[in-house]
Every structure is written in structure tokens, then in C-alpha cells.
Structure 1
């Protein structure tokens, strides 16, 4: 039992690492979740047939042990995980069609798109120049779209670009906070802590050199 619990936890940890990708979007998150759910379906079918090919320690235990392996316990764990994933990500499941549209608007079924997007999606799919730009990535392609031609598509994309598709920022902030808020900074206020964490985790560059250069004053010689 403990061997199976340890190995299923290992599979969960592998999923967790994928969800921590720095530049992950909500579409990436949904891909990883769908893949893991499919793995759970496979795991359940195989375990019910006493096939532990994806649980090597359990396989070794079955080969060496004289007692019967508790497959019913393993199946219950998998079923419980399936239920937990279904409940916790039900909101995302309800938006599956929109996530797929966001992920690849060029292959979307126009008839299944929201009414306000249909005409713009048709224009988008017919534009070979924009299609060629698709390789620059989702963020780049939606930034490239002219707002005057695709206002609704850009608004739609903005909603999904703003959704956190990764736990990276949360993990990063907690890691930075251990160094920023230490026992040597007993008077650190919440406002200062918040500001320091923002500075420590942002990708924005201050551009001090350009700012100082623009303020440079020339002194005339007398």
C-alpha cells in the first residue's frame, strides 16, 4: 500500500513540476491537467488488471511478496484522485472550448465560437500573414493583432492571458520572502515587504541609464 501511495505521489510531483513553468499560460496548464487525467484513466484500467508497469516498486513487491497485492486500495486512490481533479478544475472544464479557441484560433470551429468573435475569427483564419506569425507564440500573436481589426479577439485573449497558468510566481515569492523577511529585519513593514517582493520577482527593467541620460543638463563654459 505504501509503495503505491509513494509512486502515485511521484506522478503528482511530476505534474506539479510541469505546472511551475515560468511562462506557462492557462492553456498550458489545461494541457497538463488533461494529460494527467488521461494517465489516471490508464492507471485505473491497468491496476484493475494487476498491471503495474507504471509503478515499478509495486511491480517488484508483487514479484517478491507471497501475499496478494491490495489492488482495491490502489484503485480507490486513483478514483479519489479522479474525483478531486473533476471537482477542483470544474470551472476550467466549463471553459474548455474557449481555452481551445485561445490556444489555437486558426483551427477553431467558427460555429462554436462566441457570437461576438465569429466574424473576427473568420478574418483571422483567412489572414495568411498573421497565420505565419503564429510561430512567435500566443502572447506575441495576440500582441501583433491590430486592435482596430480584431478588438473582440484581443479582449477575449486578454482575459486568458491574465489568468495565472502557473504556480511559478507564488513559489518564487515565497522563496524570496524567506530572504527578505528575516530575523535581522524586525521593523520591516507590510508595505515595504510588498514592494521588495515586487522588485524581487518582476521581469521589468528600471532603465535607469536612459532615464538619467534624458535628464542630463549641459553646463556652458564661461
Structure 2
């Protein structure tokens, strides 16, 4: 991130902490928002652990910028001068927009049946968006960043618009370089492994990593297996092929079982916060978490049928 944008992020967190760390300040801001008929009544805390919170925090601060500015002026805080700087507010608006897009991309990676092929497609799609946004910014069009665009039009400050556009262009270029570094095109797993995703489509012999692709030709000609493939997930299909086509199964599963997202960790963390409350702080989590996170369908009725019901006294 460019130093100018990083400063805005740090200063935004400082403003939020100044208000949220004091119960009195929180109540006073809430009363002010009620009087002004605001859509929101308070700011949100920023947390490094909750990586999805950054967008919501910045968005809420931008939407309550007038209320927060009045509050800080009333408290005679030096932090109020940030909101009097049009360039600073425009950068804040851009940060809320770009983090919104990043959150949207991150959420697309979550789910129980995510595979590396689908996620790579989403990354390639986002890289194309970055190139398109760069071209649009070069032409003076920033409508894809809605909050930033609306604020600049409202402020009607040509100097601020040009200054922010330069910073946005530099940030987008840095993001493109970062994505190219971590996800280079030559490492696309689909180049020689598209047959894993589409085994019943005709492929060139040179597109296979294995020396003898004859098993795949045999599999692709089986209409019964094609029907099974169309009615089940990709992972489950290749797991079923373990006995019939062990060589294809081994290669396919090697790609499909990549731990490509933090979804499992996020799910376990969310389940733990729900289970372990103040009233249940002595609870042993292992058994409860196993029940929550398992993909096995629990036959509770079968378990209870074998037990004798407690009779009333």
C-alpha cells in the first residue's frame, strides 16, 4: 500500500480508538447521530484478527464523517482537522471501496467444496478487473469506486481529484504486481490439468502430464460415469475412481485436496466463539467442535432409539 493510503488507514484507526475506547465518547456520538438522523449510531472497532472487518470499519467512518467531525470539534480534538482535508476524505472513501472489493474476493474463496481450479479462475478474473480499472483511471473515470467518485463530485475539487487519481493508479499497479508475484500465469494449474475439471471433454494428448493417457480416454468414453460426474461434486467423483482408475485418481486428488483457503480454520473459530460463552467457560470443546464441524450426517434418532427414556416420577 502507498504511504499516503497507509497513513489514512492508521489515522482512521486512531480516530475510531479515540471514540470507542471511551464509554462516554461512544454514548455522546450515539446521541449526536440520533439528533442528526444518521443511518448509523456508532463506529465499528478495527481488529487485525477479523480480516473482514477493515472494510466495514472504514465504510462506517466515511458514512459518519460529518457526525464524527462535529463530535471531534466539540471535544476540541486535533483529530478533527483530517475531515477538513478533502484529499484525506477522498482517500478514505477509496480505501473503503477497494477493501470492499477485496472482501468480496476473499468471501468467494470460502466454502466446503472449494477447489484450487475455481479459485484460480476467480483470481484471474480479479486481475483482469485491476487492468480494466487502471485503464479507466487513466481516462479520468473512477466510477467503479462509488464512494470515492461520489465524494469527489460533491467536493468539486479538480486538484484533489487529480491527486487522488494518481494515488489510486499507483496502488492498483502495486496490487497487480503483488498478484502477479503470488499467482503467476505460468503456474496456472489448469494448463495441463483441465482434464480433472472436465474429464469428458476431448483434450489434446500433449495437454496431459501423464505419459500414458489411455486410461483417461477409456474413462471419457463411459457414459455412465459421465452421468455420475454431472450429478456429483468434482472431488467426490475422483474419490470414487480410486479402484477403477487408480492412476487418474492419484493425480486428480493431489490437486483437489490442496488446502487453498482458511475456510476450515474460520469455521472452527466461529463455532468456538458460539459454543464457549461466559456461562460455559468450563466446557470441553473437542467433542462439541467435532459434532459441529463434521461432514458426516448424524443419525441422532438411531442413537436415541437404543436408550431407555427417563420415566416421570
User: Under TM normalisation by the shorter chain, which class is it?
Assistant: 0.7 to 0.9
Matched, 1:93 2:187: yes
Q: Distance in 2 between matches of 1:79 and 1:92?
A: 20
Q: What's the CA shift string for 1:172-219, capped at 9, x where partnerless?
A: 11111113344455556xxx5344323221121344655788x99xxx
1:151 is matched with 246
Structure 1: gaps of 5 or more residues:
217-222
C-alpha distance in 1, partners of 2:185/2:131?
21
Partners of 1:129 and 1:206 lie apart in 2 by 30
Q: What is the aligned-residue RMSD (CA, Å)? A: 3.0
| CA distance, structure 2, for counterparts of residue 115 and residue 35 of structure 1 | 29
Q: Distance in 1 between matches of 2:277 and 2:302?
A: 34
Cα displacement (A) at 1:133: 3.0
TM-score (norm 2): 0.58
Bigger Cα Rg: 2
- Equivalenced residues, count: 211
- Change in 2 beyond 3 A, CA 1:198/1:141: same
Please give the alpha-carbon distance, in whole angstroms, between the structure 2 residues aligned to 1:168 and 1:28. Answer: 15
Contact 2:134–2:169 (CA<8 Å) still a contact in 1? yes
Cα distance 1:14–1:60, how it changes in 2: closer, same or farther (>3 A)? Answer: same
Unaligned runs of 5+ in 2: 1-90, 308-313
Aligned positions of 1:55-94 closer than 5 A: 55-64=145-154, 65-68=156-159, 69=161, 70-89=164-183, 93=187
- 1:7 and 1:57 in contact (8 A); partners too: yes
Partners of 2:211 and 2:303 lie apart in 1 by: 43
SS at match of 1:115: coil
Match of 1:14 in 2: 104
- CA distance in 1 between counterparts of 2:230 and 2:126 reads 26
Does the 8 A contact of 1:103 with 1:138 survive in 2? yes
Alpha-carbon distance, 1:46 to partner: 1.2
CA distance in 1, matches of 2:252, 2:221: 19
In the other structure, the counterpart of 1:127 is 222
Q: 2:127 matched to 1:33?
A: no
Q: For the residues of structure 2 that align with 1:10 and 1:198, how far apart are their CA atoms?
A: 33
TM-score, normalised with respect to structure 1: 0.78
Further displaced range: 77-86 or 33-42: 77-86
Larger RCO, structures 1/2 (Cα 8 Å, 6+ apart): 1
Q: State the partner residue of 2:256.
A: 161
